[in-house]
Structure 1
Amino acid sequence: MNFEKLKVALILDQEIIPLWQYQLIETLVKSAYAEISLVLMLTSLATNKRCRKRAAGKKYTAVVNLHLQVDRMLFGSTTNFDRPSDLKEALGQTDILSVYLKEESAGSAISNSKIVSQINYYDLDVILQLAGDKLSGEILSVPRYGVWAYQHKVNDCPVGYMEVVNQQDTLRTDLLLFSPFFPNGQLIYRSFMLPDHLSIINTQHAAYWRTSLAMPRILQGLFKYGEGYLQNLAKRFDTKDPKGRLEALPNPVQALTKAVSHFTYLLYRVWRKIMYRDHWFILFSTQTEDPLTTSLSRYKRLAQPADRFWADPFLVTHAEKHYLFVEELLNRTGKGHITVVETNSNGEVLHFEKVLEKEYHLSYPFLLNHNNTYYMIPETGANRTVELYRCTEFPYKWEFVMNLMENVLTADVTLFFYNGKWWMFCCVDGTDQNIGMLDELHLYYSEELFSTEWISHPCNPIITDVSRARPAGRIFMKDNKIYRPSQDCSGMYGKAININQVTALSETEYNEHLLTKILPDKGNGILGTHTYNFSDSFTVLDGFRYLRKRFL
């Protein structure tokens, strides 16, 4: 374990930087684990702003540039990732060293060996490269733990451009460690997030804010756990590219076709929003089949009023009755609360009643039975809390017990008791930009349920993939094996449900692999599904479709 702060250098190409970089730097400056000792300011032939601007303008075709400008006009008012910020306001008197690069076959190298000697003087642990192309040569041997650089899955394309215009399911971001041992980069972080198919700049906004978290988080892990932490990170990620190849920037004709297609899709989405509403409903089965069975053919729809949707069903079966705790959202309010739906053994609704409502949105009413008492942890991310409630008169009366966490934005908290500990799974947004609620799964643990001291797992985030991160129901055991339902939100929110087998769960390790999937049945009007729970005699999940609005 390190006791001295890590010595970090930054590679930049100008003093006016985008806000996402500024906040990354500010996080490091205020941290207890790293200090910024040096800034390496890249210098090339295009040293003045006019040259840089001219060079940037030639990077993309006129059609692509126009497409980006129109996209920014439509959606840019809600983004701030690229707001110009002054580097010196964050760094103060930190040394800045101008560095000239020369192009080599293996990458860009520092042309002056005396400069490299000067950099060596700072005894650096890590160099964070936030500008410039891939580096090579002597500089890779300077920091103890390498040069770290981001790479988005693009090839001469704006970040998010191809993912939006081609309506791809995911956008990939890699963080690579370059050193003499890994001149082509060692993967230490990989994230798959959901692109916003409406907007390129919204997608960039999410991608760059997501990017701003990884470097500080890994530096903190390196400080706390030492070099072995980096080695463990490298083992977690498959270095293959399972989700697509690099694509070249389209020529002007192709770019025009993509722009027309993109804005046509935008108009379709506007029309769909006017004419239809999102509608979630409950599906149930009374057949006692293997919980790993994934066919929807055995499910029926639960009758529900037309003026609301029901989603996120959690189930308690008692005395031949089934009690479904659901998120209920009335079409006229747009804010969720928790309702219990009582059915008989045939799935006929006998009664439903609101049981928990707050001034903020509630959903995903996770249930657990502890010492013969039922507890609920609804999603309360809108209040920046993780709230625990106790049932005082089943199933209708609940009282607040405590906040398990505060000042944290979480989604779909799911607890599991295993090996004498409570394990808390949840998606967390660390950006305060409502980003990461689909693709970053965090794990915490505590020996006590009634605790505010939940310990963050050293592998956090344990999953950084929108296709399998977000919880989708109660974690269960079968034949002494642990299974975790999760959402597949690649391409769209709530597309499908994964059943993952957990193969390692301890204070130092976490691992799982996909076993099977519950896919929607589009032929029967089920376009998506994202919560799955069952008892010995009843199984429930939710379904999604678009419901036409009534204007009269």
Structure 2
Amino acid sequence: MNQAGNLKFGVLCNSTQLQYWQEQVILRLIEDGHRLVIVVMPENEENDSKQGIQKLLKYPYRNFLFRIYFRFLLKPGAKQLVDAEYLFKESVVLRDKGTKDKNFYVFSKNSLEAIRQSGAQFILRFGFGLIKGEILNITPYGIWSFHHDDPEVVRGVPSNFWEIYKGHPTNGAILQKLSEKIDAGLILKQGWFPTILHSWEGNINQAYFGSIDWPAQVCRDILLNGDRVFQTATKPNPGKLCLAPQNIPFLKFLLKMGYYRLRYHLRELFCAEQWVTGITKANPVSLIEGKLAPEDFIWLKNRNRNEYRADPSGWFDGAQLRLFYEYYNYSKPKGSIFTTTYNENGKLSFGKETIALNESTHLAFPFIFNEDQKVYCIPETSEKNQIELYEWDEVKGRFLFEKVLIRKIRAVDTIAFRHKGYWWLLFTVKERSNYELHAWYSPALTGLYQPHALNPVKTDIRSARPAGGIFRYKDKIIRPAQNCSPYSGKSVVLNEIEELSPTAFRERVFKEIRPMWNSIYNQGMHTLNFSGPYLIVDAKRHIFVPNNFRNKIRDKFRRLKSWLL
């Protein structure tokens, strides 16, 4: 463990011009107090020596369409070139006179010695292609390199392309410590994003911008937990190598992307979500070891296709269950928190539906919990840019504002629970609401809350966004999460929390709870809570809603007008 509170690092790059995302990676490290001490570039940039007719004869015409598109039409913001020389002013800058060994670059002895003398503890590889030899082990923590695909699914070139071509719902990325074997180094950080099937440019930006904090996060982990990040790291099982697409596959890719774009817009217009809330008598054992069936549930049905009830939670007082949920109406596209009761008199029956909380801004995901004989709610208030706590007033029959727990954060689907002396808040943030999990903690429910040292503690479209409160199954701590691949609210994933402290977080997927296939609401599930003897869930179908159609058309014209102006 480094006692000085920061690390020294180096960069391997091809010139003083970096891609924008690479500049941001370095800036994040510097902002965290780490020092860039050495930069190594090749002595001469490689030039194509072929001239005239020889160059024409050797040109890879089988990749012509891809090469033209990649060079002239593909313009992702993450890869725009920036002058990064200002970052190198306090660093040793070397021009290396290395050699080529087949497809690998081998660094000169002078550069290797300079790296040793610099005291760099790790090196970021942003250039030089494939490398091997002494450079791989010259620093204590090795050479770190990004791979913007899931190497077990897609590896090779170009990045973030084949997921679209093959229709994969997820797009992975890793930060690895390089080894002599290609694509087989230790995975220091890994994440999964939703594949943006209708935009290669968007797919690239999402994966590259979504991973720029990873080296700084690994550094924090090293400073807090020593070498454990390397001891617990795994190696990938590399998948089939993919190469640059030839002309016919690239034409197919363009057609597929056009189809996906058309499908995306049509779904927005014609496939609105309609959620329904339901309850049944169940416990964690029956949920995990049994099966859900729609006939076992009593459903809080929607009156018409213009409305839905989702994100249910509640509390059981020993006699009745009070249920809370988001009520949404497409004619006024803003959520409110509604409540009703269930009384068991021979059979379960609904009470009167009333408004528990209404604001001028959108409200959703009312997370309900008890503490000191009081009933609290943390609703989603991302539009207010803060996390708020409310207390239930039984006499007034509504929630009353208690306190702002965290300011200046657009939190989505917050849950709260106690664990090892702390109150924990877990949530995603609006900008990356489906795949980045954040944790904050405090000794007391009402604060002061501090961010987890490794935020975001998880990046995974399949199991990050909270879906309900923590519960126990045997000796396991289970955290329900939303599987948002290939679309938001596809199913609920149960994660087992294996470690949670202010400096560590680790969980694994334990089980997936899928929508009930023999129900008309069989196209999604994204909330699961227990209250007393009851299991509370929601379920989804896609339907055409005229008001949603009008809202989306208006939004599209507004965006088009803004783009034209």
Q: What TM-score, normalized by structure 1, do the two folds share?
A: 0.85
Distance 2:73 2:329 in 1: 33
Q: In the superposition, relative to structure 1, how do residues 359 and 100 fare at CA in structure 2: closer, same or farther (>3 Å)?
A: farther
Distance in 2, matches of 1:101 and 1:30, equals 32
Structure 2 Cα separation of the partners of residues 450 and 523 of structure 1: 43
Q: Which secondary structure does the structure 1 equivalent of 2:325 belong to? A: strand
Name 1:99's counterpart in structure 2: 96
Q: 1:115 to 1:142 in 2, by over 3 A?
A: same
Match of 1:255 in 2: 250
Between Structure 1 and Structure 2, how many residues are aligned?
Answer: 530
Structure 1 window deviating more from structure 2 (184-193 vs 290-299): it is 290-299
Deviation (angstroms), 1:532: 0.5
**Residue 272 of structure 1 aligns with which residue?**
267
Deviation at 1:475, TM superposition (A): 0.8
**CA distance in 2: counterparts of 1:528 and 1:69, whole angstroms:** 40
> What is the match of residue 422 of structure 2?
421
Q: Secondary structure at the match of 2:481?
A: strand
Give structure 1 stretches of 5+ with no counterpart.
none
Q: Tell me if 1:396 matches 2:427.
A: no
Q: Which amino acid aligns with 1:264?
A: Y
- Describe the shift of the 1:14–1:478 C-alpha distance in structure 2 as closer, same or farther (beyond 3 A): same
**Take 1:31 and 1:478, find their aligned partners in 2: how far apart are those partners?**
39
**Could you list the per-position Cα deviations for residues 345-380 of structure 1 after superposition, in whole angstroms to 9, with x for gaps in the alignment?**
455543323332344432221111110111111223
Matches of residues 435-446 of structure 1 in structure 2 within 5 Å?
435=432, 437-446=433-442
SS in 1 for 2:326: strand
Cα deviation, residue 510, structure 1? 4.3
Identify if the C-alpha distance between structure 1 residues 256 and 403 changes in structure 2 by more than 3 Å, giving closer, same or farther.
Answer: same
Change (3 A) 1:540 1:482: same
> 1:450 — aligned with what?
446
Contact 2:28 2:213 in 1 (8 A): no
**Cα 1:209–1:340, aligned 2, differ >3 Å: closer, same or farther?**
same
Letter in 1 for 2:481: S
Alpha-carbon distance between aligned partners in 2 of 1:384 and 1:229, rounded to the nearest angstrom? 35
In structure 2, distance between residues paired with 1:276 and 1:467: 22
Tell me the equivalent position of 1:411. Answer: 412
The 1:100–1:490 alpha-carbon spacing in structure 2 relative to 1, beyond 3 Å, is farther
Deviations 1:412-461 (A, max 9, x none): 221222343323322357xxxx23x3233333433211112335256x54
Displacement, 1:490? 2.5
Match of 1:108 in 2: 105
Residues 495 and 511 in structure 2, CA contact (< 8 A), matched pair in contact too: yes
Question: How far has the Cα of 1:47 moved from its partner?
Answer: 5.3
- 1:186–1:419 CA distance, 2 compared to 1 (3 A): closer
**1:251 positional shift:** 2.7
Q: Is the partner of 1:36 in helix, strand or coil?
A: strand
Counterpart amino acid of 1:273?
A: E
Equivalences for 1:168-183 in 2 at 5 Å? 168-178=168-178
- The SS at the match of 2:10 is strand
1:328 pairs with 2:327: yes
Give identity over the alignment, percent.
Answer: 22
Q: Which amino acid aligns with 1:85?
A: V
- Cα deviation, residue 194, structure 1: 1.4
Match of 2:534 among 533, 538, 547: 538
Q: Does 1:194 align with 2:189?
A: no
**Shift of residue 530, structure 1, vs aligned partner:** 0.9
Deviation at 1:548, TM superposition (A): 0.9
- State the alpha-carbon separation in 2 of the partners of residues 142 and 495 from structure 1: 46
Alignment CA distance shift 1:179-1:166 (3 Å): closer
2:377 aligns to what? 376
> Is the CA contact 1:67–1:259 (under 8 Å) kept in the aligned structure 2?
no
Counterpart Cα distance in 1 of 2:279 and 2:188: 42
Secondary structure of the 1:334 match is strand
Displacement of 1:174 in angstroms is 1.3
Structure 2 residue aligned with 1:211: 211
- Give distance in 2, aligned partners of 1:120 and 1:107: 21
**Is there any run of 5+ residues in structure 2 with no aligned partner, and where?**
551-565
Pairing partner for 2:82 from 62, 81, 85? 85
Contact 2:315 2:532 in 1 (8 A): no
Partner SS state of residue 206, structure 1 = helix
Secondary structure of 1:239's match? coil
Assess, with a 3 A threshold, how the Cα gap between structure 1 residues 139 and 359 changes in structure 2: closer, same or farther.
farther
Residue 147 to residue 360, structure 1, CA distance change in 2 (3 Å):
farther
Return the letter of the residue paired with 2:466. P
Report the counterpart of residue 315 of structure 1 in structure 2: 314
Asked if 1:363 corresponds to 2:364, the answer is yes
Provide closer, same or farther for how the CA distance between residues 183 and 327 of structure 1 changes in structure 2, counting only shifts above 3 A.
Answer: closer
* Contact residue 187 and residue 236 of structure 2 kept, 8 A: no
> Which residue of 2 is the match for residue 11 of structure 1?
12
Matched with 2:302 is 304
User: 1:505: Cα distance to partner?
Assistant: 4.2
What secondary structure is seen at the aligned counterpart in 2 of 1:361?
A: coil
| Structure 2 counterpart of 1:6, one-letter code | L
Query: 1:465 is matched with which residue?
Result: 460
> Equivalent residue of 1:257, what SS?
helix
